[in-house]
Amino acid sequence: MYVELENINKYFKEFQAARDISFNIRQGILAALLGPSGSGKTTILRMIAGLEHPDSGDIFIDGTRVNEVEAGRRGIGFVFQNYALFRYMNVFDNIAFGLSVKKERPAAIKSRVSELLELIGMEGMEKRYPAQLSGGQKQREAFARALAPNPKLLLLDEPFAAIDAKVRRELRIWLRDMIRRLGITSIFVTHDQDEAIEVADEIIVANNGRIEQKGSPEDLYKSPATPFVASFIGESALLENYRVLKGFESETRGFSGAVRPEFVKIFTGEETIQYENSVEDAAVERIAFRGAFLEVVLNIKGMTFPTRYSLEKTPIAAGDRVRALVYRLYAFDGDRAFLLHNRNLDNSGAGNIYNI
Amino acid sequence: MKRLLPPDAASGARRPSRHFEDTGETMRRKAGSRIIPGFGVSLGITMTFISMIVLIPMSFLALQTSSLGWSGFWSAALDPRVLAGYEVSFLCSLTAALINCLFGVILAWVLTRYKFPGRRIMDGLIELPFALPTAVAGIALTAICSDKGWIGGALAPLDIKLAYTRAGIVIALTFITLPFTVRTIQPVLERLDRVYEEAGLMLGASRERVFRKIIFPEITPAILTGFGLAFARGLGEYGSVVFIAGNMPFKTEIAPLLIMSKLEQFNYGEATAVALVMLLVSSVVMFFINCVQSRASSFIKE
Ligand SMILES: Nc1ncnc2c1ncn2[C@@H]1O[C@H](COP(=O)(O)OP(=O)(O)OP(=O)(O)O)[C@@H](O)[C@H]1O
Ligand SMILES: [Mg+2]
C-alpha cells in the first residue's frame, strides 16, 4: 500500500474532526475523498500532507511512518482549494519556487519549467501574474507548481470548486487524463459525487469525521455498505418500513431502507404479469418529463418511490392507479446497509430479474 | 511526446481571442472604479477639501516668504545653522523611521500570530504615543534617559550618553512614530491568508525563506506607507524632541525648533522660508515613496 492511515483521531479543542480513520491507497491510484461539507475531508488531506497533526494514529507513505516528518519533506505536492498562487510572482517563478528551494541549477529549473508549461498548455505565459490569468489557467498553474519538484504523491483539495461549471467538466477530464498519464498516486477532495464517479479509480466516502466506505465508483453505487452511502451516492428514496412490501415481509434486518429508481418497475393494465403475488397497487403522485424518460413518483402503502418510465409505453398521468414491482431494495440495520431481493420473485422461479 | 490539450487551448477559437479578452479586462476595470457613483461630485469634494486643508495654508507660506525677496530667502534658508538643523531633522527622522520599520514588522507579527497573556494590553499600548501629549512624552523620556534616569544612569558608566544627543532625538522620534508602522502592517498581516505560507512550506521552503519570498512582498507596500508616515511625522515633531535634544546649535538643534524660535522673534519671513524648504524636501521624499510603493503593488492591481 502506498498511502496508509491507521486509527487516526483528530480533535479541534473538544470537537472531534476525525474519528478512528483507517484506509489505504495503492500506488498509481487516483482516489477521491468524497463527503458532505464539514465531514472532515480537508482535515484528513492536511494530516496526510503534514499541515495538521493527528492526536493519535499513524500515517505511512511508501512504507515509512511520516508522523514526525515535516510537511515539505514528505514528497507531497499539494494543490490548494483557491490555488494559493504567490501573487507577487509570475507564472515562471511560481512554478520554479519548489525547484529553486532545492538549489537546482538555473538551467535545470528553466528546462523543467518549460516542460511543465508545455504540459499544461501555457507556453508563452511565463511573465503573467496570477491576477492576469483565468480560473482554469490558475488551476493548471497550481497543478504545475505542485508537480515541479517531482512529488511521489499529489493531494488536491477541491481542485474544481472555484471554477465555472461549464469549464469544470472539461478541466476535470483533462486533470484525470493528465494524472493517469503521469501515473502519480493522487488523492483529491470533493463534495460532488458526479465528479468523484467520473474522475476517480477509487472513492473514499467520509461522513461526520468517519470513513463510511472505500471502493470503486461501481461498488459504492451497487453495494453501499452503510445507510449514508446508499443515500449519498446516486439517487434514492428513503423507506420508513420496507417490510410491509410484498416479497420482503419475512426479512429480519431492520425496518427502514432505501430504493433506487431502477429497483421499481411500473405495470399498466395491459401487460400480462408473471409475478401477480408480488405486485403492489400504486398511485401516480407526480410525473416530470426528463427528455429520454419520464420521472414518475409513485405512492405505495404510504411510501414514496421515485422511478422511471419509458416514453414508448402506454402513457400514464398523475392520479392514475398503476401496479408496481419492487424487486430490490436496501435494508438498513443500524449503521449497515444490505441489498435485498424480492423473495417472491426468487420463489416464483422468475429467474433472472434483469429480464423483467 | 503528445500533449493533452487543456480545455481552453483545445478549442482553437479561443486562442486568437486573447486580444478581445484584454479589452474585456480593461472595461471591467473601468466599471470597477465606478462603484460609488457621481465621479464629478466626489472629485469636486476632494479638490475643495485638499485646497482648504493643504493648498491654502501652503500658498500662505509661500506668500509670507515672498516678503523676504530672493536674496533674503536664500540667506534665511541656507544659513549654516539652519542647514545643520535640516541635517539633524532629516537624519534623525530617517533613523527613527527605519528603526520603526524593523520593530513595526516584529511587533505586528507577534501581535497577529501569537496568542499570549497580555496580548490585548500590549496591543492597546501601541497607541499610547498618540494619546499622550507630546510634551509629556518628551519630559518622561528625558527623565529616563538623563544621567540620573533608569536607562541613562545604567549607561552612564559605559560613557554612553542618550539625553541631549542625537541618539536622544532618535529615541523620542522612535517613540512618537511607532504606531504608524505597527498599525499599517498589522491589518495586512491579519488579512494575509495562511494558505500562502503553507503552499511555500509544502514546496519545501524553510520558514525563513517563506517569510522572505512570500510574506515580505505582501507587506512591503504597508511597510513603505508606515515608513512614509513615520518619517513625515518625525520631521514635524517638536514637543517631544525639544526636551531631550538639548538644542545645541549645529549639534542637536532640529529645524522645527529653529522655526519656532524665529516665530518667537516675530521673524515670520525667515520662519516660513525654513518651513518651505522642509516642505519641499519632504514632498519629494513622499513622492518617491509613493512611486516605489505603486511599483511594488503593480502586479496585483492588473
Ligand atoms: N482549524 C480548525 N479549528 C476548529 N475546527 C475546525 C478546524 N478545521 C476544521 N474544523 C472543523 O472540523 C470539521 C471538518 O472540517 P473540514 O474542513 O475537514 O471539512 P470538509 O469536509 O473539508 O468540509 P468542506 O467540504 O466544507 O470543505 C468541521 O466541522 C470544521 O468546523
Ligand atoms: Mg474542505
B48-301: CATH topology: MetI-like fold (1.10.3720)
Question: What per-residue confidence (pLDDT) applies to B302?
Answer: 47
Q: Mean pLDDT, to the nearest integer, of B232-253?
A: 87
Residue among A139, A174, A178 with most chain B CBs within 10 A, to mutate:
A174
Question: What per-residue confidence (pLDDT) applies to B10?
Answer: 39
Instruction: State if residue A38 touches ligand 1 by the CB under 6 angstroms criterion.
Output: yes
Cα-to-centroid distance, A136 and ligand 1 (Å): 26
State the cell numbers at B186: 498589522
Contact yes or no for B6 and A121 at CB 8 A: yes
B12 pLDDT band, cuts 50/70/90, is: very low
Contact yes or no for B193 and A84 at CB 8 A: yes
Task: Write out the DSSP string of A264-303.
Answer: EEEE-TTS--S-GGGPEEEEEEEEEE-SSEEEEEEEETTE
Convert the pLDDT of each residue in B196-208 to its tens digit.
999 999 999 999 9
Strand ranges of the sheet holding A64-65, from the earlier edge strand across to the other edge: A15-25, A3-12, A56-61, A64-65
State the cell numbers at B219: 507587506
Is pLDDT above 80 for A1? no
Sign of the CA dihedral running A232, A233, A234, A237: negative
| Interchain contact B196–A (C-beta under 8 A) | yes
| Interchain contact B200–A (C-beta under 8 A) | yes
| Element of type H or E holding A220 | helix A217-222
| Element of type H or E holding A344 | helix A343-347
Question: Which residues in A lie closer than 8 A to residue B213 (C-beta atoms)?
Answer: 86, 97
A349 pLDDT band, cuts 50/70/90, is: very low
| Element of type H or E holding A106 | helix A106-119
- Of residues B3, B204, B301, nearest to A119 (C-beta): B3
State the cell numbers at A176: 484525470
Residue B227's nearest CA partner among B289, B170, B278 is B289
**Is the interface score ipTM higher than 0.85?**
no
pTM of this structure: 0.81
Question: What per-residue confidence (pLDDT) applies to B11?
Answer: 41
Instruction: State if residue A42 touches ligand 1 by the CB under 6 angstroms criterion.
Output: yes
Phi, psi for residue A340 in degrees, rounded to 5: -115, 145
Instruction: State if residue A145 touches ligand 1 by the CB under 6 angstroms criterion.
Output: no
Residue where the block lists cell 503528445: B2
| Interchain contact A92–B (C-beta under 8 A) | no
Q: Mean pLDDT, to the nearest integer, of B271-287?
A: 87
Contact yes or no for B217 and A171 at CB 8 A: no
| Interchain contact A150–B (C-beta under 8 A) | no
Do residues B244 and B78 touch, judged by C-beta distance below 8 A? no
Pick the residue whose CA is nearest to atom 28 on ligand 1: A38
Convert the pLDDT of each residue in A20-38 to its tens digit.
999 999 999 999 999 999 9
Q: Mean pLDDT, to the nearest integer, of B232-236?
A: 90
B31 pLDDT band, cuts 50/70/90, is: very low
What 3-state DSSP class applies to A342? coil
Residue where the block lists cell 517569510: B211
Do residues A84 and B199 touch, judged by C-beta distance below 8 A? yes
Position in ligand 1 atom list of the atom nearest CA A191: 25
Residue A118's nearest CA partner among B13, B16, B3, B9 is B3
What residues have CB less than 8 Å from B158, skipping those under 6 apart?
none
Convert the pLDDT of each residue in B168-186 to its tens digit.
999 999 999 999 999 999 9
- Of residues A82, A85, A98, nearest to B204 (C-beta): A98
Residue where the block lists cell 518617491: B288
Query: Of chain A residues 71-90, which have a CB less than 8 A from chain B?
Result: 71-73, 76-78, 80, 82, 84-88, 90
Between A131 and A348, residue with greater pLDDT: A131
Q: For residues A301, A304, A307 and A311, what is the CA-based torsion angle, rounded to 10 degrees?
A: 80
Report the distance separating Cα A155 and Cα B198, nearest Å: 13
Question: Which residues in A lie closer than 8 A to residue B115 (C-beta atoms)?
Answer: none
CA distances from residue A155 to A62, A177, A185, A199, B161 in whole angstroms, order as listed: 15, 16, 9, 14, 60
Query: Of chain A residues 274-333, which have a CB less than 8 A from chain B?
Result: none
Percent of chain B scoring above 70 in pLDDT? 86
Position in ligand 1 atom list of the atom nearest CA A13: 4
What residues have CB less than 8 Å from A326, skipping those under 6 apart?
A245, A246, A247, A248, A259, A263, A264, A280, A300, A305, A342
Report the distance separating Cα A200 and Cα A187, nearest Å: 9
Pick the residue whose CA is nearest to atom 27 on ligand 1: A37
Extents of the domains making up chain B: 48-301
Do residues B115 and B257 touch, judged by C-beta distance below 8 A? no
Question: What per-residue confidence (pLDDT) applies to A353?
Answer: 45
Question: What per-residue confidence (pLDDT) applies to B299?
Answer: 66
What is the three-state SS of chain B? Answer: CCCCCCHHHHCHHHHHHHHHHHHHHHHHHHHHCCCCCCHHHHHHHHHHHHHHHHHHHHHHHHHHHHCCHHHHHHHHHCCHHHHHHHHHHHHHHHHHHHHHHHHHHHHHHHHHHCCCCCHHHHHHHCCHHHHCCHHHHHHHHHHHHCCCCHHHHHHHHHCCCCCCCHHHHHHHHHHHHHHHHHHHHHHHHHHCCCHHHHHHHHCCCCHHHHHHHHHHHHHHHHHHHHHHHHHHHHHHCCHHHHHHHCCCCCCCCCHHHHHHHHHHCCCHHHHHHHHHHHHHHHHHHHHHHHHHHHHHCHHHHC
Convert the pLDDT of each residue in A294-308 to its tens digit.
999 999 999 999 999
Query: Of chain A residues 30-69, which have a CB less than 8 A from chain B?
Result: 49, 51
Report the distance separating Cα A275 and Cα A325, nearest Å: 8
Question: What per-residue confidence (pLDDT) applies to A215?
Answer: 95
Report the distance separating Cα A217 and Cα B143, nearest Å: 77
Do residues A100 and B210 touch, judged by C-beta distance below 8 A? no
Is pLDDT above 50 for B1? no
Task: Work out the mean pLDDT of chain A and round it to a whole number.
Answer: 90
Residue where the block lists cell 485638499: B50
A205 pLDDT band, cuts 50/70/90, is: very high
| Interchain contact B214–A (C-beta under 8 A) | yes
Report the distance separating Cα B47 and Cα B52, nearest Å: 9
Chain B nearest-CA distance from A210, in A, is: 25
Convert the pLDDT of each residue in B68-111 to its tens digit.
888 888 888 888 999 999 999 999 999 999 999 999 999 999 99
| Interchain contact B204–A (C-beta under 8 A) | yes
Is pLDDT above 70 for B21? no
Pick the residue whose CA is nearest to atom 31 on ligand 1: A38
Q: Across-strand partners of A329?
A: A340
- Of residues A80, A132, A148, nearest to B302 (C-beta): A132
Contact yes or no for A51 and B302 at CB 8 A: no
Task: Using the CB atoms, write b or e for A298-313: b if 16+ within 10 Å.
Answer: bebeebebbbbbeeee
Is pLDDT above 60 for A350? no
Is pLDDT above 90 for A164? no
What residues have CB less than 8 Å from B90, skipping those under 6 apart?
B235, B281
CA A44 to chain centre: 15
Report the distance separating Cα B35 and Cα B57, nearest Å: 33
State the cell numbers at A21: 480513520
Pick the residue whose CA is nearest to atom 1 on ligand 1: A12
A347 pLDDT band, cuts 50/70/90, is: low
Phi, psi for residue B134 in degrees, rounded to 5: -60, -35
Long-range contacts of B158-162 (CB under 8 A, 24+ apart): B162/B244
Pick the residue whose CA is nearest to atom 4 on ligand 1: A12
Chain A nearest-CA distance from B294, in A, is: 13
Report the distance separating Cα A133 and Cα B29, nearest Å: 15
Convert the pLDDT of each residue in A94-145 to its tens digit.
999 999 999 889 999 999 999 999 999 999 999 999 999 998 899 999 999 9
Is pLDDT above 60 for B29? no
| Interchain contact A100–B (C-beta under 8 A) | no
Q: Mean pLDDT, to the nearest integer, of A302-325?
A: 90
Between β-strands A280-289 and A257-259, what pairing exists: parallel, antiparallel or unpaired? Answer: unpaired
Q: Mean pLDDT, to the nearest integer, of A209-225?
A: 94
Do residues A234 and A263 touch, judged by C-beta distance below 8 A? no
Chain B nearest-CA distance from A119, in A, is: 6
Report the distance separating Cα B7 and Cα A168, nearest Å: 9
Instruction: State if residue A45 touches ligand 1 by the CB under 6 angstroms criterion.
Output: no
Cα-to-centroid distance, B215 and ligand 2 (Å): 24
Nearest ligand atom owner, CA of A41: 1
Between B286 and A8, residue with greater pLDDT: A8
Alpha helices in A120-185 (DSSP H): 135-147, 165-182
Instruction: State if residue A236 touches ligand 1 by the CB under 6 angstroms criterion.
Output: no
